[in-house]
Structure 1
Amino acid sequence: MQYLRCDVELAKVRERPAPWAGLHVCTVSLRVLDQTSSSRNVYTAPVSVMMNCPPADTAPADHCVVVGFYAAASRIVY
């Protein structure tokens, strides 16, 4: 993982906040190695991850759980 940005740092989340406390949207920049027998490519891919954390009623009491992800950081869907 290269970096992690969550919630208020993401413009789309500021425009349309989460529908309940404890739902967080983070963008993770992943370093990807695409390797075949003839080539090797390294690139970075942004992935947005939705986490459900306390105090959400549906979250575990002591940790967060991933509830969804997508590869287009500009698209926030709850």
Structure 2
Amino acid sequence: MRQLAIIPHPAAKITLFSWNGKYLIKLEKGSLEQTYKVSELDLTSEADIHLLLDDEFVQAAVQRFSAMQQDLQAAFDRHGI
């Protein structure tokens, strides 16, 4: 796996990788992460990845982190952990 870029964003760490014919877009916030795999054949260049990472996409991903944290906490609470 090859790291191509770290894309600065105040709400999450965004890292772009290339691996096995795919671009991997990894977003991290605290102990949570989301990874999106996009075939290199679906894009004309690496620059297209930056177009995908528009405000709407990143904002939705950041909101998903909140939902993920709530789901994890609910599981802990259900089991008294």
TM-score w.r.t. the length of structure 2 is 0.41
Which of structures 1 and 2 has the larger relative contact order (alpha carbons within 8 angstroms, sep 6+)?
A: 1
Kindly indicate which of the two structures has a greater share of residues assigned to helix: 2
TM-score w.r.t. the length of structure 1 is 0.42
Kindly indicate which of the two structures has a greater share of residues assigned to strand: 1
